[in-house]
Amino acid sequence: MQLKITKIGFLYIFLTILLGISAINTGNNLLFVLVSFLLSFMLLSGWFAKLNLRWLQISFSFPEECYAQLPTLIKITLINHKKIIPSFLVKLEFQIKGSKDSSSYSTTFFLLEKNSEKILSILPLERGYNYLERVVIFSNFPFNFFVLKKYLKIKEKFLVFPKPMNCTDFSEEFIHPYRSEKPYLSGEGSGEFKEIKDYLPAVPKKYISWKHTARFEETIKIKSFSQEVINPVLINFEQFKVQDLEKKISCITYLILENLKKGIPTGLKINGKFFSPQVSHLHKFNMLKELALYERN
Amino acid sequence: MKEIKLKNLLLFFTYLISLICILLTFKAIDKFYFSIIIFLFFISLFFEKHQKFCPRLFINIMGIVFILIFLFTTNLSNLLENSLKTLTFLLSLKLLEDKKVRDYLEIYLLCFLILAGCSYFYTNIFFFLLLIGILFLLNTSLFLCLYILEDQNFIIPSKKLLKIFYINFIPFFSLFLSSIFFIFLPRLSSPLFNLNIEEREAKTGFSDQVTIGIFSKIQESNSIVLRVEMEKIDFEYLYWRGITLDYFDGKSWTKSKENTLNFHTLPHFFNNTKIKQTIYLNLPQENYLLTLDKPIIISGNFQYDKDSDLSIKILETKTYPVRYYVYSVISDIGEEKINKKNFLQLPQLRREVEELAKNLKGKSEEETVKNILKFFKESGFKYSLKNLPISTYPLEDFLLKYKYGNCEYFASAMAVLLRINGIPARLVAGYKGGEYNEWGKYYLVREKNAHTWVEVYLNGRWKRYDPTPSGIILTQPSFFKEKIIFVLDLINYYYHKFILDYNLQLQVKILKTFKDYFTKEDIKTISIQTFNKTLLLKIFLVLFFIVIIYLSYLNFKHKTFQFFLPLERKILIKFLKTLKKFGYHKKEEEGLEEFLEKIKDPFLREKSKKIIEILEIYLYKDQTMDIETYQRLKEFLKEIENFNYPYVKS
Amino acid sequence: MNLERAFKVLTQFLQGKEKAIELCILCLLAKGHLLIEDLPGIGKTTLALSLAKVLGLSFGRIQGTSDLLPSDITGTSIYNRSTGKFEFHKGPIFNHIVLIDEINRTPPKTQSALLEPMEEGQVTVDGQTYPLPEPFFVIATQNPIEYYGTYPLPEAQLDRFLLKISIGYPPREVEKEILKIGSLKEEIISLESILSEEEILNMQREVKNQIYVSEKILDYLLDLIEKTRKSAYLLAGLSTRGALSLLLAAKARAYFYKRDFVIPEDLKEIAPYSLPHRLIFKEEYKSLSKEIVREIIESTKVPI
């Protein structure tokens, strides 16, 4: 807890002293009443201010997926455990710290009855683990005579993926088509026309080639289409020829994201680890995590 | 949902506070200035409505000008008035501005200073109550400023507005705390710097002379002249002595200089029973102090003169109300030596009067007195306050012609008749009677109780005679309205006694009591002895109120009184209460079965499950529980209660 | 009671999935349809199949693909050479329990073809209307992560599903057991049925007509609805139809627990599965849908 008296607060103290002197001097009991009121007011506002910041619980929730240099949203929940009394004008300040730089954010909860949530936009600066630090709640409640600060011992970390960066110039060279035993098929019969086949039950009517059926008369003929084959892709981190490490990581991140968006299975070879090409969400996370933490631990 | 702009609320409070403060200065400042200030106030309201304001520069220049005028015109004698004037002016100027948070704070500061200044001019409890009210308003406004500081256009749903007023807990608790501060703040017996503050009390009917035949009507005023804290005594002894008059010029009685002698002639009164009074004199009586009958010992925080004729005069200017202590004797006191010649002075009178007087002469002086009193009683004299004869010879006309008048006529006539017969006599002006406030144990004397009577020197002592027919019938208050007035007066009386008259002596006394309390043990035993029936009754009443409050709390909590609840709800509340003892508390958002999940102890859980299963049928199938089921569930509950939970904390 | 026995047998086969089985049965009892959102390989098919077996109902399966046509589901008219006429061949939808895998892979047109059978219990093909067997119960699955080339179900379609659940990974011990024993597919196929069609239809009727709902419960439900409508996180609150289906599911739960009246817990337990897919969340809170629903439920006073 730290207390800082504001200008108004000093003025208030000055006023109290002044009135106190005149009360003592004149012996006017109404002045004494005013002075004692001012004094008790001072005392109680301190106590109420302290109460205002007590029994508060704060929790942060970070997004699962966020990228460096791209704004993201975090959710801050402030819970008031006081039974009846609300908290007023609670201000919150915290720092998000990467490996080098840090940036601070602040937000205000105006009236906190039971609990309150704030969605705050933040900009994580660097990839890798970012730390939430220096969480301070403070308030100038009740009368802006002073500001009461409370430092909280909250430390949390969250993972920030590298910043995606489009580097179309190099992409083709370093992407290796990946051969596996099973080709990845994008779905049946959506490719090009292949051949005419005999009718099989449960084939939709639209595939029936009425022209051929008419020609062969006895059997119903259907059109068959080839399957579209998608080639999986493997990215080799070490062979990726970009000098600047950060840029390299950014480019690869972009490639992974773009490919997966198109449904192209993508794999990554990095740091002696091998992620075989897949399209799953978890797979994406694993690869991005590896990239985010590259040379950071 | 309705929403309220906090700024509007703040503006409303600010103008309200300012208006009250401005109105309060009415008593203190020049009426000319006052009307200008009121005018400016309405202009600022107009500005506020049209959202157009005075330029700041203009206001600042005006402010500086006023402060300069204040500095040049002020001396020690008009300091308070001038500073109040300036402060109020600055306030009304400030209101003309487009207000930012800073300006609000300045306005509140000005208001506060004005209030402090005004406290010199008001002694009534209503000012005190108003003061507290304003402090609450100031508190709320200051808090609202906090939000305005954050956001000029802060909007709050009207439902949540009540939460904002939670802030008033601070001044509320401050009231209690400040009473402690009030008692223990350091005090001085005399001021360090003396500022002369003028008296501003209205003139009262009491004067240092008694004149007859000038006014045809006497106003009956209900203003309170004095409160006397004392025990109740017989009504006929209630003569409050003010001034003794001995010189008559045919129209007015005045006090002659010769009689201002020392007190030393007073005989032995030490054997007489003395009545102690604590007197709060509200209105100045030409600097004379009022006392019960014959004052013997007087003490007060001022310098005074005691005359041999028992009247007491303050020698310094005082702010009223004045408090002093008097010991009086109402019985006869011993012989007194006087210069008879001084009390036999007479103006030129008509012969008929002298003849009348001679006719009334008896064999002894006592008989003469009796004859005169009889004369007033039997010759058709009437008491009246209206249509009093206006004449150049009021006394003669009263005695011979009109035969009606007020106490002054009767007393003057009697004194004159006595003097003609060679018996020394004098007039005493003061008050008679008073209403006794049983709760506060004090007499309340109003202006309409003003009275004049005669003192006759018989056998070496002054004896009081009251020739006035008992026109002033003072009954105990019986009407409800008067009772309310009585209670209000009591509050005002305590306000004067405990707040306005609190001083160094009282402070020392309280501190001493505290010290005694903590050093002596036997005080407690005394308090047990003084335990009596009324105290028991009081305690009973307090307990009764506590029960009422508790019941309403229960009512609040469970929506309805427990007695009238249906059986299933009754047993449910009992059940939840029992489990609370074991540390299981059901939240409002929790269902019964969810609650059951929380219970860890197998025995408790099993029993609770049984109860809950039955309860649910009644609660959610809308069935009314029969008494057998209720009894059965109660038995289950008893089992739970008797179960000795191994982890229960003692 | 047979329902209980059926539940027991199912839990034996599908260890660690009690909750999912329960919700599945509730859905069936309430005549609703079920949407399972989960990763592949968690046991959705096993669940549907064993449910069908144990309940003695027929089972059909449709795999959602991007080229799936409405006729693949409803069935198609096929030319009969001997009669020289087109004959209607019933599609997989003509079963008691129908599993539609990865429904969000099918194009919207096909998705909407499901509307009619799910809502009306009938199928119209080439102008002919064919009634579906009763009880009719659709279990659809969808992948939680939006892949390229998926068609997320529109709100109207989502609204047809009584509950949306996810099975989740089994607990560690259970998973170990599963690994030890291996797949139980064959055993499931050889399961004997415990319930009959008739019994299930009976139960559905009882759920609908014989479960008592107190005023208090209705008020509680209304409180919940009001909260969703006032919530700052939502664009639109619960519709009346949504509330109705929530109540129906709660009734089914009461029946499942052998009560003939609804208690607040019924609503509380069902709401997290019945509400999120019916509410429209503001963009920034989409990922928090479950938490928001939970918050709404936990902040509503329970009537007693």
B590 touches chain C (CB under 8 A): yes
Pair B306, B298: CB distance under 8 Å: yes
Judged by CB atoms closer than 8 Å, whether chains meet at A89 and B150 is answered as yes
Average pLDDT, chain B: 77
Judged by CB atoms closer than 8 Å, whether chains meet at A26 and B178 is answered as no
The Cα B292–Cα B242 span in angstroms is 9
**Chain A residues with CB-CB distance to B143 below 8 A:** 142-143
- Closest Cα in chain A, distance from residue B223 (Å): 23
The Cα A98–Cα A161 span in angstroms is 12
The Cα B199–Cα B559 span in angstroms is 59
- Can you tell me the mean pLDDT for B535-561? 67
Q: What is the pLDDT of residue A175?
A: 57
ipTM: 0.74
**Chain C residues with CB-CB distance to B616 below 8 A:** 259, 261, 263
Judged by CB atoms closer than 8 Å, whether chains meet at B502 and A32 is answered as yes
Q: What is the pLDDT of residue C253?
A: 92
**Chain B residues with CB-CB distance to C304 below 8 A:** 569, 572, 592, 619
* CB burial of residue A34 (10 Å; 0-12, 13-18, 19+): buried
**Chain A residues with CB-CB distance to C149 below 8 A:** 186-187, 263
Q: What is the pLDDT of residues B9-31, one digit of tens each?
A: 899 999 999 999 999 888 888 88
* C201 to A144, B390, C204: CA distances (angstroms): 70, 116, 5
Nearest to C66 among A64, A187, A220 (CB): A187
Question: Which residues, 6 or more positions from B65, have their beta carbon under 8 angstroms from its beta carbon?
Answer: none
Structure tokens at B585: 């508390």
**Chain B residues with CB-CB distance to C260 below 8 A:** 621
Closest CA to C147 of B413, A279, B510: A279
- pLDDT of B527 > 50? The answer is no
The rounded percent of chain C whose pLDDT value lies above 90 is 3
Q: What is the pLDDT of residues B206-224, one digit of tens each?
A: 556 666 655 555 556 667 7
**Chain A residues with CB-CB distance to C144 below 8 A:** 281
Which neighbouring-strand residues pair with B245? B427
Beta strand ranges found along B413-545 (DSSP E): 425-432, 435-437, 442-446, 450-458, 461-465
Range of weakest confidence among B355-359, C21-25, C281-285:
C281-285
The CATH number for C2-198, chosen from 1.20.120.640, 3.10.20.340, 3.30.930.10, 3.40.50.300, is 3.40.50.300
Q: What band does B526 get if pLDDT is binned at 50, 70 and 90?
A: very low
- Closest Cα in chain B, distance from residue C302 (Å): 5
Pair A151, A53: CB distance under 8 Å: no
Specify which of B432-436, B532-536, C197-201 reaches the highest per-range mean pLDDT: C197-201
The Cα C244–Cα A113 span in angstroms is 32
List, by residue range, all CATH 3.40.50.300 domains of chain C.
2-198
Q: What is the pLDDT of residue B365?
A: 82
The CATH class for the domain spanning A56-160 reads mainly beta
Question: Which residues, 6 or more positions from A51, have their beta carbon under 8 angstroms from its beta carbon?
Answer: A82, A85
Q: What is the pLDDT of residue C251?
A: 92
Compute the half-sphere exposure of residue B296: CA atoms within 13 Å on the CB side of its CA.
Answer: 18
- Can you tell me the mean pLDDT for B580-593? 80
Nearest to C69 among A75, A187, A206 (CB): A206
- In the A/B pair of chains, how many CB contacts fall below 8 A? 125
**Chain A residues with CB-CB distance to C287 below 8 A:** 63-64
Place of tokens 């007033």: B376
Q: What is the pLDDT of residue B426?
A: 87
pLDDT tens-place values along chain A, 297 residues long: 778 888 888 888 888 888 888 887 777 777 888 888 889 988 888 888 888 888 888 888 888 788 888 888 888 888 888 877 888 888 998 988 887 778 888 888 888 888 888 888 888 888 888 888 888 888 888 888 888 888 888 888 888 888 888 776 555 555 555 554 444 444 444 555 666 767 665 556 666 777 777 776 666 777 766 555 666 777 777 777 767 788 888 888 888 887 777 777 778 878 777 777 777 777 888 888 888 888 776
- Closest Cα in chain C, distance from residue A243 (Å): 32
The Cα C291–Cα A26 span in angstroms is 65
Query: What does C105-141 look like in DSSP terms, one character per residue?
Result: GS-HHHHHHTHHHHHHSEEEETTEEEEPPSS-EEEEE
Question: Would you give the end-to-end CA distance of chain B in angstroms?
Answer: 50
The Cα B444–Cα B455 span in angstroms is 24
Nearest to A31 among B109, B116, B145 (CB): B116
pTM of the full structure:
0.50
The β-bridge relationship of strands B247-248 and B291-292 is: unpaired
- Can you tell me the mean pLDDT for B138-164? 83
Cα torsion through A241, A242, A243, A246, rounded to 10: -140
Which neighbouring-strand residues pair with C141? C36
Which chains contact B through at least 3 pairs of Cβ atoms less than 8 Å apart?
A, C
The Cα B36–Cα B32 span in angstroms is 7
Nearest to A34 among B116, B179, B186 (CB): B116
Nearest to B590 among C212, C260, C302 (CB): C302
- pLDDT of C23 > 80? The answer is yes
Which chains contact C through at least 3 pairs of Cβ atoms less than 8 Å apart?
A, B
**Number of C-beta neighbours around residue A175 at 10 A:** 18
Q: What is the pLDDT of residues B452-481, one digit of tens each?
A: 888 888 887 888 888 887 654 444 445 566
Q: What band does B200 get if pLDDT is binned at 50, 70 and 90?
A: very low
- pLDDT of C125 > 50? The answer is yes
Judged by CB atoms closer than 8 Å, whether chains meet at B619 and C214 is answered as yes
Judged by CB atoms closer than 8 Å, whether chains meet at B621 and C304 is answered as no
- Closest Cα in chain C, distance from residue B531 (Å): 48
**Chain B residues with CB-CB distance to A8 below 8 A:** 105
- Can you tell me the mean pLDDT for C190-203? 83
**In CATH terms, is domain C210-298 a member of 3.30.390.50?**
no
**Chain A residues with CB-CB distance to C147 below 8 A:** 263, 279
- pLDDT of B279 > 70? The answer is yes
Nearest to A279 among C79, C89, C147 (CB): C147
- Closest Cα in chain B, distance from residue A295 (Å): 44
For an interface test with A, the pick among B3, B128, B177 (most A C-beta atoms closer than 10 Å) comes out as: B177
**Chain A residues with CB-CB distance to C72 below 8 A:** 202, 204
- Locate the chain C residue with the closest alpha carbon to A225: C67
- pLDDT of B570 > 60? The answer is yes
- pLDDT of C28 > 70? The answer is yes
- Closest Cα in chain C, distance from residue A180 (Å): 21
Pair B431, B242: CB distance under 8 Å: yes
Beta strand ranges found along chain A (DSSP E): 2-5, 56-61, 72-80, 87-97, 102-112, 115-122, 128-139, 146-152, 156-160, 175-177, 184-185, 193-198, 221-225, 229-230, 233-236, 266-270, 273-278
3-state secondary structure (DSSP) of residue B453: strand
Compute the half-sphere exposure of residue B560: CA atoms within 13 Å on the CB side of its CA.
Answer: 9
- Can you tell me the mean pLDDT for B480-491? 70
**Chain A residues with CB-CB distance to B127 below 8 A:** 30
Judged by CB atoms closer than 8 Å, whether chains meet at C76 and A205 is answered as yes
**Number of C-beta neighbours around residue A243 at 10 A:** 6
The Cα A53–Cα A148 span in angstroms is 8
The rounded percent of chain B whose pLDDT value lies above 90 is 4
Nearest to C79 among A187, A220, A279 (CB): A220
Burial track C144-156 (b if 16+ CB lie within 10 A, e otherwise): eeeeeebbebeee
Q: What is the pLDDT of residues B229-247, one digit of tens each?
A: 888 888 778 888 888 888 8
Chain A residues within 8 Å of chain B (Cβ atoms): 8, 11, 15, 19-20, 22-37, 39-41, 43-45, 48, 85-86, 88-89, 108, 110-111, 113, 140-144
**Chain C residues with CB-CB distance to B592 below 8 A:** 263-265, 302, 304
Q: What is the pLDDT of residue C249?
A: 92
* CB burial of residue B335 (10 Å; 0-12, 13-18, 19+): exposed
Q: What band does B644 get if pLDDT is binned at 50, 70 and 90?
A: low
Pair C20, C160: CB distance under 8 Å: no
Judged by CB atoms closer than 8 Å, whether chains meet at C149 and A186 is answered as yes
* B306 to B160, B262, B282, B312: CA distances (angstroms): 66, 7, 20, 5
**Chain C residues with CB-CB distance to B622 below 8 A:** 212, 214-216
The Cα B225–Cα B433 span in angstroms is 12
List, by residue range, all CATH 1.10.8.80 domains of chain C.
210-298
Q: What residue ranges do the domains of chain A occupy?
A: 2-40, 56-160, 168-185+229-292, 193-225
For an interface test with C, the pick among A62, A115, A117 (most C C-beta atoms closer than 10 Å) comes out as: A117
Q: What band does B195 get if pLDDT is binned at 50, 70 and 90?
A: very low
Q: What is the pLDDT of residues B302-332, one digit of tens each?
A: 778 777 777 788 877 666 777 888 888 877 6
Range of weakest confidence among A32-41, B314-323, B404-413, C81-90:
B314-323
- Locate the chain A residue with the closest alpha carbon to C79: A220
Question: Which residues, 6 or more positions from C136, have their beta carbon under 8 angstroms from its beta carbon?
Answer: C96, C98, C117, C121
The β-bridge relationship of strands C163-165 and B210-211 is: unpaired
- pLDDT of B202 > 50? The answer is no
Cα of C269 vs its chain's centroid, Å: 15
- Locate the chain B residue with the closest alpha carbon to A23: B187
- Locate the chain C residue with the closest alpha carbon to A260: C148
Closest CA to C202 of C13, C19, C17, C28: C28
More confident residue, B253 or B192: B253
**Chain C residues with CB-CB distance to A202 below 8 A:** 72, 76, 89
Question: Which residues, 6 or more positions from C146, have their beta carbon under 8 angstroms from its beta carbon?
Answer: C152
Alpha helices in B248-364 (DSSP H): 351-360
Judged by CB atoms closer than 8 Å, whether chains meet at A40 and B181 is answered as yes
Structure tokens at B425: 């006599």
- Locate the chain B residue with the closest alpha carbon to A26: B191
Judged by CB atoms closer than 8 Å, whether chains meet at A24 and B500 is answered as no
Question: Would you give the end-to-end CA distance of chain C in angstroms?
Answer: 30
